[in-house]
Structure 1
Amino acid sequence: MGGHDDHHHNHHGDCAHEDTGVDPSEMGIMYSLYQKIDIDHVVCLNEQEEESGKTIFKAWENRLDKEKYVDSDADAELLINIPFTGNIKLKGLILIGGEEGTHPTKIRLFKNRPQMTFDDVGAPPDQEFELHRDPEGKLEYSTKVVTFSSVHHLTVHVPGNMGGGDVTRLYYLGLRGEFTPAHRHGVTICNYELRPNASDVKEESLHDVTRQVQ
């Protein structure tokens, strides 16, 4: 447990748990990484309603929208696999959880481990945060930028909630950072040109067989 306590203090030195003090319109620009998420391929495990995990990624100005949220199903855990359309440098995040005891106690972040399941969450996270209730989305949790400097996939594990019940609720998860488009320079063309034609290979094989028979 001591390791977790140390973890907690280290990270919260970066994130003072107070109002960001930034103009709301600027926050909208800073928290625009939701547009870089490959939303069709986001997978939330243990969500009560199918596809609801995708709805917590919203524009900054819609973060207080309580009509869209994700609830956990069989127990209090949630695991969200988030692929991006390129590489991001993750600098911070803001989370708005549910009312009363449904608010998450902590989040654990894993970078570049696609298709994680609950069988994989025993691994040490790249970073974790103890959470505080933040109904207006004003508290930013600052990530270790060196660790999260080249992320094409982010997994968020929510291990439990403040009430100890079976339902954990998330309304909003905002991500702040920088985006670099994925580089795809003619890979398909190169592969196509280098691949031998099947009919050519067949003819050469036939010639070899013919020579050996003669």
Structure 2
Amino acid sequence: MSGHGHSHGGGCGGNHDCDEHMTEEQLAAAYSLYTKINMDAVQCLNTDSPAKCVFKPWEQRLDKEKYVESDADPELMFIIPFTGNVKLKGIIVIGGEEGSHPNKMRLFKNAREMTFDDVGRKADQEFELTPDSQGNIQYGVIAARFNSVDSLTIHFPSNFGEDNTKIYYIGLKGDFHEASRQEVVIATYEARPMPGDHKATSDFENFHHPIS
């Protein structure tokens, strides 16, 4: 499904928030989800640039000193793990000049092992992008599809005509929830070797496969 609507200028449409009516302080607070990203684990495929440099405070969104630029072709893929669970609400993308701004964006929820070999799968949501050098356009996501996100994969398959894609800023808006204490206790318990896990080979064996 493609998302064609976005909020900018003087009006609002679809399920998009009226960010143009918010103060700079309110926008800075709304787009502070970058603080909940596990920055050391952020990846971006098809670039030698530091992937985490595009996730920064709202007031630094127009800083053009650091950016991510694709290498072999226009395609980029960001894998963004969070430190808890996120209810994603909106995304802002500030891309490069002229034709180096991405023209499409595909979102995949909880797909942190994804590579370019997997791009044929159906995205949870897709957008056609508009060049945005100031961060004026928010792309609102379908809330029901992004209400329990522990990682977000963003695929930019192409741009507006240049050989390489350039991105200065990706702003993420949403609600954050810490991993519950119960989840932490269960994870610790399962990490401990238990006597029952070492039965004789004649016993029935149980195989546990991680759910992606």
TM superposition score normalised by structure 1: 0.81
Superposition pairs for residues 24-173 of structure 1, below 5 Å?
Answer: 24-47=24-47, 49-50=48-49, 52-163=50-161, 165-173=162-170
Indicate yes or no: 2:22 matched with 1:22: yes
Task: Please name the residue that 1:195 is paired with.
Answer: 194
SS at match of 1:20: helix
Give the C-alpha shift of residue 196 in structure 1. 2.4
Tell me the C-alpha RMSD between the 2 structures. Answer: 2.5
Q: Structure 1, residues 135-194: CA drift from partner, whole Å, max 9, x if none?
A: 11011111001110000010000011102x321000000000000111234235534777
SS at match of 1:14: coil
Amino acid paired to 2:29: I
Amino acid paired to 2:73: D
Q: 1:75 to 1:17 in 2, by over 3 A?
A: farther
Amino acid paired to 2:62: L
Contact 1:76 1:159 survives alignment (8 Å): yes
Contact 1:15 1:141 survives alignment (8 Å): no
Q: 1:73 to 1:195 in 2, by over 3 A?
A: same
TM superposition score normalised by structure 2: 0.82
Q: Structure 1, residues 94-142: CA drift from partner, whole Å, max 9, x if none?
A: 1100000101011100001112100001111111111111111011111
Amino acid paired to 1:75: D
Specify the structure having the higher radius of gyration (Cα).
1
Q: 1:188 to 1:161 in 2, by over 3 A?
A: closer
Measure, in 2, the Cα distance between the counterparts of 1:119 and 1:188: 30
Contact 1:102 1:162 survives alignment (8 Å): yes
Give the C-alpha shift of residue 14 in structure 1. 2.5
Q: 1:201 to 1:106 in 2, by over 3 A?
A: closer
Q: 1:38 to 1:189 in 2, by over 3 A?
A: closer
Unaligned runs of 5+ in 2: 7-12, 201-212
Q: 1:143 to 1:189 in 2, by over 3 A?
A: closer
Among residues 140, 158, 182, which one is paired with 2:179 in the alignment? Answer: 182
Amino acid paired to 1:44: C
Q: 1:189 to 1:138 in 2, by over 3 A?
A: closer
Give the C-alpha shift of residue 55 in structure 1. 0.5
Amino acid paired to 2:186: V
Measure, in 1, the Cα distance between the counterparts of 2:150 and 2:44: 17
SS at match of 1:190: helix
| Count of residue correspondences | 192
Unaligned runs of 5+ in 1: 203-214
